[in-house]
Amino acid sequence: MKLTELKAIKLAELFSALSDANRVRIISQLIEGEMSVRALADGLGMTESAVSHQLRGLRQMHLVRARKSGRQVFYSLDDDHVSRLFTLGLDHVQHG
Beta bridge partners of 68: 73
The pTM score is: 0.91
Cα(71)–Cα(9) distance, integer angstroms: 36
Q: What is the pLDDT along the chain (96 residues), one digit of tens a residue?
A: 899 999 999 999 999 999 999 999 999 999 999 999 999 999 999 999 999 999 999 999 999 999 999 999 999 999 999 999 999 999 999 987
Q: Are 71 and 37 in contact (CB under 8 A)?
A: no
Nearest to 58 by CA among 25, 18, 9: 18
CATH of domain 10-95: 1.10.10.10
